[in-house]
Structure 1
């Protein structure tokens, strides 16, 4: 792991103790002892406790105490109580600062440990997709709406089964750990059933049963399943999810939708028909973009939603990964402020057979 460079804010804070003590010293010399600037030398160790370790705070505290004593002697304040009072305040603030620095260092170590666990969980939950499977080239992008988070309620997976390459992209209602737990349930069921279930509808039914057992109340998961069959045909099964974007090699853009819409996973009514599969045929050079509503519902300065169809030209990059990175960068520039929802995208480019090992 490479060391991170300190941010500009941390750099300013690291120099703040020295700047504060210098300003206090100059002000005390200019204004004289009558103004009472001397106790403000304690700002040095106070600021030092905000960044760095306890040793640095202690050293700056000693420097502040020496400065306080020197200024006190210069102002002849030790003849009375003012010099001792100022020195005691500096020593007290230094002690408190050292204790605060120790506690902060421990909390930072705990946070780093939690982040390491979260990164390991991310690798298990959202595994990297293969860059190529037969005639398919794949790329994925994920942006979490939660600050410092790597994973949220959106999900994706690719499984190479005996019945074709199967893909799922989904969006769990809500955010936080509960959404991550639900996403894990869906992905676990898909990874198992996606390989051995011979029928895509049967795969969808198994996901529905798994989600219905886990979810309570009105929570749900929108999802779209895709099965890439030999010869370039793709069969979709949509559970209330946004339609995929189909970009033809000649530049034509469309959003194939099912003949009838079905409810999301977890909201299915027993005894009713589930989603109906629908098919799209691909030609060499065609691309499919599966995504969550965090992409299409991102709003710009004028309040308009992100115009995904107008940005289809960005997908004509040299390779799927760079093409998807261009869309992600454009989406971040278009949206106002921090993202309000997770955004997942999975790009499938259909062409001639590709050697997966050479694509890594």
Structure 2
């Protein structure tokens, strides 16, 4: 790439030398160092700027052999020097900021791995695939959350969405996931686990003895218990979008008959967590997602119709279905989401039939 500005300098210098005295192409030399920052660093820009100054000096000497340099050429040389110095400083500042941004990205990715580590590809007999699309530019994590824990008889999975955005939402997501990881391994019933998670969210939001504030922070969530043996999935829904089971290209939405309020609002509503159940047969795919999926809009403002889109999809593996879903969702929204979106696909292979 550096040969482009160098060739430009050579062409301008040669042509300008043979032109009539009243025509000057020397000012065009500034284009060489001006385009160099698009691909080069401070040293490259400095080198090209120095070559442009040398070329302008040679042009001045050759066109005015009776005097070393005319006032016009001296002004052009000075202008090239000033422009070159400014461009070198600009490139140096840009490189420093690029290094800082790279460090921030590294820290962000490290935080994501700690707060929201990717699910393993296998959870007992289940195969898994996860997609996390953050709405914020350069972000790796937002207020959406998911996690899984193995028990002696199966797998417990949580997916949720924190009200709000930014670092506060990330902190609340980390709190809930930490509580889930601590308690999900225990053999407590599913409704007791959800009640414990609700208390953890409330304790973090409100100081002991304080009243009010419960409506400011809450987390919608669905907690599932998928047995290794058997086909009945147990679920507690806390105001979260319902799971979808895809069987042979036919989606079925598993709406909760008695959905509880979001986590963090338990003291206001005194909920009784009702455990629902639905079938998850070998060969089926279980889709868990946040509202960033179903509320994704296209240019006309139409929401993404998840069940309509996946109807007829014949992918039998979670990875293949998730890859197709990602392409379809981004195509629907024109490549950019307005809210974080999570999709988890769980596959119970046909070979795992008890």
- TM-score, reference length from structure 2: 0.85
Match of 1:263 among 258, 261, 264: 261
1:131 alignment counterpart: 121
Question: For the structure 1 residues 235 and 90, does the alpha-carbon distance in structure 2 shift closer, same or farther, using more than 3 Å as the test?
Answer: same
For the 8 Å contact 1:315–1:327, the answer to whether it is kept is no
Task: Give 2:198's match in structure 1, choosing from 201, 208, 215.
Answer: 208
**Which position in structure 2 is the counterpart of 1:4?**
none
CA separation of 1:243/1:27 partners in 2, compared to 1, >3 Å: closer, same or farther?
farther
In the TM superposition, what is the alpha-carbon distance from 1:247 to its structure 2 partner?
2.1
CA contact (8 A) 2:132 2:343 kept: yes
Aligned to 2:283: 285
Kindly state the Cα deviation for residue 323 of structure 1 after the two structures are TM-superposed: 1.4
Aligned to 1:41, what secondary structure does the other structure show?
Answer: helix
Q: CA deviation at 1:284?
A: 2.1
- 1:34 and 1:274 map into 2 onto residues whose CA distance is 92
Cα offsets for 1:82-136 (capped at 9, x unmatched): 1111111111222222222222222212222222222222222222222233332
Match for residue 136 of structure 2? Answer: 146
Q: Provide the residue aligned with 1:59 in structure 2.
A: 47
**Kept in 2: contact 1:139–1:320 (CA 8 A):** yes
In 2, the alpha carbon distance for the partners of 1:338 and 1:164 equals: 37
Deviation of 1:33 (Å): 5.9
Identify if the C-alpha distance between structure 1 residues 15 and 108 changes in structure 2 by more than 3 Å, giving closer, same or farther: farther
Query: Conserved in 1, the CA contact under 8 Å of 2:250 and 2:312?
Result: no
Aligned to 1:241: 240
The corresponding residue for 2:209 is: none
SS in 1 for 2:82: helix
| Bigger Cα displacement from structure 2, 22-31 vs 195-204 | 22-31
> Which whole-Å CA distance do the structure 2 matches of 1:342 and 1:315 have between them?
24
Q: Which moved more, 1:69-78 or 1:319-328?
A: 69-78
* Per-residue Cα deviation, 1:268-308 (whole angstroms, up to 9, x for no partner): 33461244221112222222111011111112244321121
Give the match's secondary structure for 2:267: coil
Q: Map 1:32-47 to 2 at 5 A.
A: 34=22, 38-47=26-35
> C-alpha offsets along residues 30-60 of structure 1, whole Å, 9 cap, x if unaligned?
9866566534523332332344222101110
Is 1:329 the counterpart of 2:327? The answer is yes
Among 168, 172, 177, the residue aligned to 2:158: 168
Q: 1: CA distance between counterparts of 2:255 and 2:7?
A: 64
Task: Quote the residue 1:358 is aligned against.
Answer: none
Q: 1:108 aligns with which of 75, 86, 98?
A: 98
Instruction: Report the TM-score, using the length of structure 1 for normalisation.
Output: 0.84
Residue segments in structure 1 that go unaligned for 5+ positions in a row: 1-10, 355-360
Q: For the residues of structure 1 that align with 2:337 and 2:10, how far apart are their CA atoms?
A: 42
* TM-superposed deviation, 1:160: 0.5
Contact 1:72–1:83 under 8 Å retained in 2: yes
Which residues of structure 2 form unaligned runs of 5+?
207-212
CA distance in 2, matches of 1:215, 1:46: 54
Structure-2 separation of matches of 1:219 and 1:32 = 76
The number of aligned residues is 341
Judged with a 3 Å threshold, the aligned counterparts in structure 2 of structure 1 residues 262 and 30 are, in CA distance, closer, same or farther, namely: farther
Cα gap change, 1:36/1:264 in structure 2, threshold over 3 Å: closer, same or farther?
farther
Between the aligned partners of 2:10 and 2:293, the Cα distance in structure 1 is 51
